[in-house]
Amino acid sequence: MENIQIDPEAKCPIKLIKVPRDNAGNPYFIGKLQFPAMMKFEKGASFMVFLAEAGVEELQIGPIEPSRRSKARGGVSINNGRFCINIHPMIDQHGKTYYVGESIGLFEIDLVPGIFFTVFTSIAGQEQIQISRLEVKQKPRYDGARTNTFNPQHFSEDI
Cα–Cα dist 16/29, whole Å: 6
Domain containing residue 57: 10-136
Written as one letter, the residue type at 99 is Y
Summary mean pLDDT of the chain: 83
Taking the model in full, what pTM does it have? 0.77
Residue 151 lies in a domain: no
Decide if 46 contacts 62 (C-beta within 8 A). yes
- pLDDT above 70 covers a percentage of the chain that reads 81
Cα–Cα dist 130/126, whole Å: 12
Written as one letter, the residue type at 62 is G
Residue 3 lies in a domain: no
Domain count, the chain: 1
Residue 120 lies in a domain: yes
Residue 88 lies in a domain: yes
Residue 46 lies in a domain: yes
Residue 91 lies in a domain: yes
pLDDT digits (tens, 9 = 90+) for 100-121: 999 888 778 889 999 999 999 9
Residue 98 lies in a domain: yes
Residue 144 lies in a domain: no
